[in-house]
Amino acid sequence: MDEDTLQFYRRYAEAYAGWAKAPSTRLTGFLSLLPPGGAILELGCGAGNHAAVMLAAGFAVRATDGSPEMAAVAARRIGHPVEAMLFDELDDRNTYDGVWASACLLHVPREELAAILTRVHRALKPSGLFYASYKIGHDDGRDSIGRYYNYPSQEWLQATYAPSAAWTQVSSDTSEMKSFDEAPATMLHVVVRKGPQ
């Protein structure tokens, strides 16, 4: 966990929620692969825009964020409980049909990411689906407002997922976006399925 990054989302929770973009169009495709009404864990939910779509579609959503202030803002916006939970506090086993982690595991220090992926794997039911998105790069570092990013290449990410647990790749694609600090970024969207233990 990067303390400065977390402090950013604690201090600027309202401002970030006001800026937050429309839900990812990839969410619809993700939900279509889950059993109707299935259980979804959302990590780093931010303003709650994705959780709102999941709830409206009838899923059983556990929305979480590591910033208690962000969790409170999201809960108010979506009218649904949002738990303050850090990634490394995830301890569930065989619980979720899907785990959704949009633009949040990109803040996990490189040396800690594999352990978080192992936790996600454990938390999923057999064949459960896992979405995560990252800002592509070559070396980790900070943006202009001090937030840490792991900035993976596709190769680095594959080499980190592979030993963390048994995953089967479902899809991987990229998109362009503008960050909160106005910097352009290329996002990598990765969907994997839990394989055998």
Ligand X SMILES: C[S@@+](CC[C@H](N)C(=O)[O-])C[C@H]1O[C@@H](n2cnc3c(N)ncnc32)[C@H](O)[C@@H]1O
Pair 184, 177: CB distance under 8 Å: yes
For 11: left if phi > 0, alpha if psi spans -120 to 50, otherwise beta; the answer is alpha
Q: Any residues with CB less than 8 A from the CB of 155 and at least 6 apart, and which?
A: none
Decide if residue 62 touches ligand X (CB under 6 A).
no
Cα gap 54→163, rounded to integer Å: 30
Nearer to ligand X, 33 or 72 (CB): 72
Cα gap 136→188, rounded to integer Å: 6
Pick the binder of ligand X from 33, 57, 86, 136 (CB under 6 A): 86
Site stretch for ligand X (CB under 6 A), options 55-63, 75-83, 102-110, 120-128: 102-110
- Residues 16 to 55 in contact with ligand X, rule: CB under 6 A: 20, 44-46
Decide if residue 99 touches ligand X (CB under 6 A).
no
Pick the binder of ligand X from 41, 104, 132, 165 (CB under 6 A): 104
Decide if residue 107 touches ligand X (CB under 6 A).
yes
Pick the binder of ligand X from 59, 96, 102, 161 (CB under 6 A): 102
Residue 78's SS3 state is: helix
Pair 147, 8: CB distance under 8 Å: yes
Cα gap 165→93, rounded to integer Å: 14
Pick the binder of ligand X from 67, 113, 135, 156 (CB under 6 A): 67
Nearer to ligand X, 95 or 195 (CB): 95
The DSSP element (H or E) to which 102 belongs, if any, is: none
Decide if residue 131 touches ligand X (CB under 6 A).
no
Residues that bind ligand X (CB under 6 A): 1, 5-6, 9, 20, 44-46, 65-67, 70, 86-87, 102-104, 107
